[in-house]
Chains A and B, each alone.
Chain A
Amino acid sequence: MARIKLKVDPSRRRFLLRTAGQACGAALLGMGLLTLSRQSHSLPAEAIRPPGALAEKDFLSACVRCGLCVRDCPYDTLKLAELGDNVLTGTPYFTARNIPCEMCEDIPCVVACPTGALDKSLTDINESRMGLAALVDQENCLNFHGLRCDVCYRVCPLINKAISLQAQHNPRTGKHTLFIPVVHSDACTGCGKCEYACVLPEAAIKVLPTRLAKGAAAEHYRLGWEEKQKAGKPLVTPDTEHQYNLPEGYRYEHGGEGLIKEKDETTPFGSNPLDTLNKHQEQSK
């Protein structure tokens, strides 16, 4: 093998090699960290950020994990994640089932935040959106069984706004009413008092990150009846009258009564054809 002599300054070569090693080491560590961060930066659903928290991605660029929000929380709701918790280390969160947010009017946690990770433009705690309550277990919720538990509804700081009870027919008994707790996303702050108070061993109503708790209608969807009301007239023209092929002397009522006989015409048969058929049966007995 032919060899050629390279003109290399050994000290320069050493320097370049050392520098390359250091740069590559740092780069490898950086790539490892980036991979790790991808995996650990997703917030588990049971961990709720304090009121006013920026969207998770922005929050992680802003929060320096100083814990001043934790210190100013009068109810010890907030915690800083410890290393090894499933929440990103050092960031503040709370678990509604343990201690929910008491929704202080002066929002001390937001006031304490030096970074803006908790947005100071939040001045009315009712406007905060920490998450969204969702009645996730309709099989075990007592109200779905027809009982009047109502605890989630009663403890809600925005009762009748964030949670209301919707009366529904109870098909099991046929004569009672179900009072179904319904969460309204336009008012629910995600404070978690409903989840905390749920009487079941495992809460049937839970505060979830809004991204998990809420669906979204397609942008082009319109509710026809609302549009009609807004416009004050039908939007589909002409609004033709519906034609029914009904027997003579009958009409159809839309309010729920259904088919209605206009006047009692006298026939040799009763109004129910079955009576006529069964008459012979009874006679033969």
Chain B
Amino acid sequence: MKKELLGVIDATTYHEDLEDLLAHRALAALPFAGRYRIIDFVLSNMVNSGIRSVAIFPKMQYRSLMDHLGSGKNWDLNRKRDGLFFFPSPSVDFDGKKIGSFENFAANLDFFYRSTQEYSLISNCYTVFNMNFRSILEWHSNSKCDITEIHQKDGGSMEMYLIKTSLLIKLIETRNETGYTCMKDAVNDIQSLYTICNYEYDGYAVMIDSIENYFSTSMNLLQSDVWKKLFIKEQPIFTKVKDEPPTKYIKGSVVKNAMIANGCLISGSVENSIISRGVKIGKGAVIKNCIIMQKCVIEDNCILDSVILDKDVKVEAGTQLTGTAGSPFVVRKGTQQGALMNS
């Protein structure tokens, strides 16, 4: 029988540098690339790698994440056997900075015992990448390694770990004796009893941990070589389906170098920007170097440069908003921006 992998996604992470975008949602549910949430990348990669059982460990503000994932149907994970599992943290005060917290896993040890998959892949939830995990499983199982940590080529840890499920259970159960609180502790112990290996991943991968890097990673999507590394026909990124119609370009619209999701009505001009589903851009409006999230309404003759509009933002006619690439102007979810409010 083929070697099976269990997917474990740690969705407890919170990055303070992304605060403006995380007031209403978990980091895992951060909108990205016009129609995705950031967790879609790792989750789709798991599914595309043949993983049939995925456990997600969220912490706070997980309503948006649950709403997004639902039964797992969009990832083909609504299965009678295995499928998608959701394990919210039993306590609110544990440290969410460590990927693969054993304390958190321990509360759901039964799940690991019940899982039949020989290996487990433990991953963070905020990496933008398109990777097939089968090759690393092959590599790991042929090596003498006990734990493999995925590294970026010429870079640091990607906070993804491959380990035998039985060893993972052992690490969870012996956490008090070993002093290992998480996967990171286990791989960073130079006196470890286990063989720790690094696997170098030479594909495209960015871990989103600040507004600045969220903005620049988004803008890089407009380069077709980056785009092609992320959106591969044979390894699609799945997401929650919305029944939006195709985007309509209305007389007077000018669009250049942009990524535009479905359901938009565009009358103004858009350049170097990412526009999410269901956005309305009025006549004479100029949108440059912006990330506009779902269902925003930008009225006529607005001028926006280097701005991130979170979901459901309304920008009144004639408003001007300007940020910079290093420090984009961020407008929080559901708010309204008027012409007289910013000077």
Do these two chains really belong together in a complex? no
Write the residues of chain B forming the contact surface with A, with a CB cutoff of 8 angstroms: none
Which residues of A are interface residues toward B (Cβ below 8 A)? none
